[in-house]
Amino acid sequence: MRTETPPTVRLEDYRPSDHLIDRVELDVRLDPHDTRVTATLALRPNPAGRAGAPLVLDGDDLTLLALELDGQAPAPDAVRADASGLTLHRPPQRPFTLRIETRLDPTANTRLMGLYRSNGVYCTQCEADGFRRITYFLDRPDVLSVYTTRIEAEREAAPVLLGNGNPVEAGTVPGTDRHYAVWHDPLPKPAYLFALVGGRLDRVAKPFTTMEGRAVEIAVYVEPGKADRAAYALDAVERSMAWDETAFGRAYDLDLFNVVAVSDFNMGAMENKGLNIFNDKYVLASPETATDGDYAAIEAIIAHEYFHNWSGNRVTCRDWFQLCLKEGLTVFRDQEFSSDMRSRAVHRIAEVRNLRARQFPEDAGPLAHPVRPKQYAEINNFYTATVYEKGAEIVRMLRTLIGETAFRAGMDRYFADNDGTAATVEDFLKAFEAVTGRDLSRFAEWYERPGTPRVAVSGSYDPAARTYRLAFRQTRPGAGADAPPLVIPIGLGLVGPDGPLDGPLAPPFAERVEDGVFVLETAEDAVTFENVAAEPVPSLFRAFSAPVRVESPLDDAARLTLLRHDPDSFNRWEAAQRIALGLMTAQVRDETAGDAGADDFVVALGAFLDAEALRDPAFAAQVLALPSEGDLADEIGTEIDPDAIFAARRDLRRRLGTGLRERLLSLREALAEPEGTPFSPDAAAAGRRALRNAALDLIAAADPEAGTALAQAQIAQATNMTDRLAGLAALALVPGEAREAALSAFAERYANEPLVLDKWFAIQAMIPEDGTVERIRRLQGHPAFANTNPNRVRSLVGSFSLANPTQFNRADGAGYALVAETVLALDGTNPQVAARLMTAFGPWRRLEPVRRAAAESALRRIAATPGLSRDVTDIGTRSLA
Ligand code: 0A1
Ligand code: ZN
């Protein structure tokens, strides 16, 4: 393991590689413990690099067996090689060939980076820097090579052999029980996109013809016996291919597109060229095992990885500082895809919930960083909500600023100008400048600084002049006075007591509002609407037009007007969320004046449900789902007391459950599927289930006994995992026999379904009661639990640290101790997962003093442990800085 203090890598130090590798021939002889890799590299000096520079190839945990330069063993003093690198001191100043033979042990590779085995299946993960664990290489994204890979393995153990690109040859190795396959990928790619797979796998496939007339075979490979759970993912690939053609004019470029599901994977999935490798959680689905949320996530992640084929693979990143170039853009693309496949309004709400739950707190804590970081010690710690989600918001703002037509033209230009290259954020923006003639240099500031900006808004109405003036002021926490203001697109409209004020005859008019968007480019600015007949309610940041916190001038009466009449669905939802947040924070701050407000809110929600619940159940479910405890903590910001937050949220759920009880019960009836209805995972059916289950949650909050009965009946009748799990989740909140019996029955029913048991682990980890820490410790010894499987760890310990605020933040520190122990136990085997788990401590400085001290001491205990990985060291250093 690497234990040295990691050097910091800085964007400002970037220089092109001194050498290039045009072609790579790999011969990989798979063996459980003694895999041999022979790499033949066609190298040459890079004209853009330093002439005569040594050749320094990266390596990590490698054993060198043989080395030849142009067919000759180099002189011993010409080379230095160890586990972490290979240097040729005086490489030839002309093209030359290196032949490198290394040995590795895939079974011992518990870090799941490089070549490893998952349930006996050989697979690889090379992003960000795993290829150097397979052979010595220039493991950096701006070195692009054409790969030919020969994979050999025992036929019995690995009948399926897959590589990047297209298959060119296959056969048996005479006189042995081994066979081989040769794959060739014609498109140059960086090493992080390399992949191979070997194992026993079942396959489902379907053909696709691209708009360019290419016949493509799409295939999904899964563990034997699970082919019937791969159909949804397979269809999702097909939908993604078709969508990228119509939405972005992007066609697929190989004859095969393969997806392989493996059960041990550090992240969600990986976009290796022509051979996407997935965490099986994001492939396998059946009504019996997957929730509606799982189906939606599968569709989104399949799309995400597929879309990388253009945004990431055809155009890749010059260096890892440009990670958002592929990730932010690809998240934006997958969000658009999901919005087109499902309800756009509901999807936007889900995107914003996710951004606020994960990115806002990150940006407000010690791990905050710019969307394009300026430095890193361990790049694998920068696959963050900021790079991904805030990165996507920047692309979305760009589209809002320049309009859809110019955005599409700019994307076409970006792909055309940068195809086959390793690009930068500047290259991206340049394409949009080229098609619009606009200067985007000020907009580029969004990439450069951490922190969520605030925009304070005030409104004033002049009845005599019939004008309404909105004034804006932007600030950025922690940004010095020298920080230039951001370019912030603000989606705007005015709403009156009876509906939107955009009547055709005399609409309110404001000179600088174009297509409903006002652009705030200075620290302060204002806009005046004319022709406004009566004091309006402003609908601000429609569709969440910028990732900012808004200090809004609205009171609850104004918000109720928006909930009723705003044509922007996002802001209708936002209005309800803000009212609920206000009521709950008032309770946390011990301001008891909120009672009448709560009654008004209940009445308004009742009217809303009567008018709309059956018309758009998915949206209604979002309106009923109160802001999370995390949202409240984020809103409160300092001296956080998770117990007070929990109590406030519980009390408001009780109030809603009491006040809306009859309606919720009859909605559940009205939304029940008639018996015998076949299961469909589509958005409409999922929306009906979501609303029924949101109703169950509130009913149970108000009346645990009734809730228990309903939940038990729902579990008994459930025809799908969504309803079964929602029943179990409701029961999990009510201590007692019924809960324990339901948990046991669930475990028994799914004893052989690891992905379903993950849900069972998670539900228990999220129980907001004193015994949960002890329960988790018990479950860590459950036969289905394994510290070596990232999904199990995330389900049991990750859910606890991220979704059980009262117990993770126990005042006695027992929650922190549990997570710290898990981090330390994992660090030796899988530092990436350990480091990610540790990020749960991020908000520690915002806690009230007792918990703050306990969290800090847990963090310090981790950081003081000798022999930590670079991954955990980096999180520890930054968390405590
Ligand atoms: N590029 C992938 C994410 C990814 C990053 C690192 C990994 O290493 C374990 C794996 C996957 C994506 O955006 O989906
Ligand atoms: Zn990605």
Residues 236 and 302: their CA atoms lie apart, in Å, by 6
pLDDT at 592: 64
Residues 547 and 20: their CA atoms lie apart, in Å, by 40
For residue 128, give the ligand nearest its CA: 1
Strand residue runs (E) in 444-512 = 454-462, 467-475, 488-496, 499-500
Q: Are strands 145-154 and 178-189 parallel, antiparallel or unpaired?
A: antiparallel
Q: Output the CA 345–ligand 1 centroid distance in Å.
A: 28
For residue 327, give the ligand nearest its CA: 2
Q: Which residues surround ligand 2, an ion (CB under 5 A)?
A: 327, 330
Helix (H, G, I), strand (E, B) or coil at 462: strand
> Could you say which residues of the chain have pLDDT below 70?
1-6, 503-506, 591-594
Mean pLDDT of the chain: 97
**Is residue 127 lining ligand 1, measured as CB closer than 6 Å?**
yes
Residues 172 and 178: their CA atoms lie apart, in Å, by 6
- The DSSP letter of residue 367 is T
pLDDT at 715: 98
How far are the Cα atoms of 326, 504, 599, 880 from residue 277, in angstroms, in the given order?
Answer: 17, 53, 51, 35
**Is residue 125 lining ligand 1, measured as CB closer than 6 Å?**
yes
Q: Any bridge partners for residue 220, and if so which?
A: 204, 259
Whether the Cβ atoms of residue 295 and residue 187 lie closer than 8 Å to each other:
no
Q: Residue of the nearest CA to atom 3 in ligand 1? A: 270
Predicted structure pTM score: 0.98
**Is residue 123 lining ligand 1, measured as CB closer than 6 Å?**
no
- Work out which ligand 1 atom sits closest to the CA atom of 266: 9
Structure token pair of residue 286? 């059946």
pLDDT at 635: 96
For residue 265, give the ligand nearest its CA: 1
Residues 320 and 382: their CA atoms lie apart, in Å, by 9
Three-state helix/strand/coil letters over 200-268 = CCEEEEEEEECCCCCEEEEEEEECCCCHHHCHHHHHHHHHHHHHHHHHHCCCCCCCEEEEEEECCCCCC
Q: Residue of the nearest CA to atom 7 in ligand 1? A: 127
Helix (H, G, I), strand (E, B) or coil at 16: coil
Residues 432 and 414: their CA atoms lie apart, in Å, by 8
Mutate which of 194, 267, 871 for ligand 1? The one with the most ligand atoms within 8 Å of its CB, which is 267
Q: Output the CA 385–ligand 1 centroid distance in Å.
A: 13
In one-letter notation, the amino acid at residue 417 is: D
pLDDT at 1: 44
C-alpha closest to that of 427 among 273, 281, 263, 315: 315
For residue 379, give the ligand nearest its CA: 1
**Is residue 267 lining ligand 1, measured as CB closer than 6 Å?**
yes
Mutate which of 110, 111, 127 for ligand 1? The one with the most ligand atoms within 8 Å of its CB, which is 127
How far is CA 352 from its chain centroid?
12
Please report how the helices 814-827 and 870-880 are oriented relative to each other, as an axis angle in degrees rounded to 10: 150
How far are the Cα atoms of 104, 123, 153, 261 from residue 32, in angstroms, in the given order?
Answer: 9, 12, 10, 19
Structure token pair of residue 109? 């590779």
Catalytic-residue membership of 445:
no
**Is residue 835 lining ligand 1, measured as CB closer than 6 Å?**
no
pLDDT at 299: 98
**Is residue 271 lining ligand 1, measured as CB closer than 6 Å?**
yes
Whether the Cβ atoms of residue 718 and residue 724 lie closer than 8 Å to each other:
yes
C-alpha closest to that of 761 among 734, 732, 735, 718: 732
Q: Output the CA 327–ligand 2 centroid distance in Å.
A: 5
In the set 152, 305, 351, 362, the catalytic residue is 305
Residues 118 and 789: their CA atoms lie apart, in Å, by 9
- Work out which ligand 1 atom sits closest to the CA atom of 383: 5
pLDDT at 590: 83
| Residue 521: count of CB within 10 angstroms of its CB | 14
Residues, the chain: 881
Q: Output the CA 266–ligand 1 centroid distance in Å.
A: 8
Structure token pair of residue 514? 């174009």
pLDDT at 506: 65
How far is CA 593 from its chain centroid?
39
Task: Convert the pLDDT of each residue in 818-871 to its tens digit.
Answer: 999 999 999 999 999 999 999 999 999 999 999 999 999 999 999 999 999 999
Is the sign of the CA dihedral 569, 571, 573, 575 positive or negative? Answer: negative
